[in-house]
Amino acid sequence: MTMFRRMLFAAVLLSILASVCAAQRYAGTYAGQEEEFGPVVRAYLGYLRNEQEVVDDRASRHEVSASYYRRNSNRIRALRQIAIKIARETHNDYLPELEAVARDEFGLLFELPPHIQALKVGEVFRGTFRFLGTVRSTELFYVFARLDPYEQSEILEQAAKDQPSSTSASDSAKRADGSNRPR
């Protein structure tokens, strides 16, 4: 009987050790990937990791459906992929506010959704979102970056410059013939 207890204890100890090693390897994988980024990008990737833990926890308690779990896990994976891509391409420790939506979720971002066939990378919609592209994470997600207030104001200024106003044209015509000269 004592031999059986020793073998059982050794088996339990070995399985605990294996699970701890696996957890450290899993955590080390992300930590090793994230060391190349600055604190802002690492914080965002940590935020996504925490969001995945919340979704996992809710699924383990059967608070959400399997389809909800899959969609949100895939969305988090898509956001992670695009964040890493942006950080590597720009070599900058800055990420815009990212939104990833599936085809049937466009109404969450846009009152009048754009036509999916007409989406072009870099195009700005409604002066609020820039289309960054698509990411396939089991299902296809369309990723947008929310423009910051400075970018929004620049776009509004550019649009105002591009539209010639009829009053300014008539005012300049009046000044040219001298009929409305300041005194």
Q: Is residue 8 part of a domain?
A: no
Q: Is residue 56 part of a domain?
A: yes
Edge-to-edge strand list for the sheet holding 129-137: 97-101, 139-146, 129-137, 124-125
Same domain, yes or no: 117 and 129: yes
Q: Is residue 13 part of a domain?
A: no
pLDDT (tens, 9 = 90+) of the chain, 183 residues, equals 677 777 666 665 555 545 545 445 444 445 556 788 999 999 999 999 999 999 999 999 999 999 999 999 999 999 999 999 999 999 999 999 999 999 999 989 888 888 888 889 999 888 889 999 999 988 999 999 999 888 888 877 877 887 765 444 444 444 444 444 444
Q: What is the total count of domains within the chain?
A: 2
Q: Is residue 44 part of a domain?
A: yes
Range of the domain at 153: 96-165
3-state SS, residue 135: strand
Q: Is residue 157 part of a domain?
A: yes
Q: Is residue 1 part of a domain?
A: no
Residues whose CB is less than 8 angstroms from the CB of residue 95 and which lie 6 or more positions away in sequence, other chains included = 40, 41, 44, 83, 86, 87
Domain boundary among 56, 76, 95: 95
Confidence (pTM) = 0.67
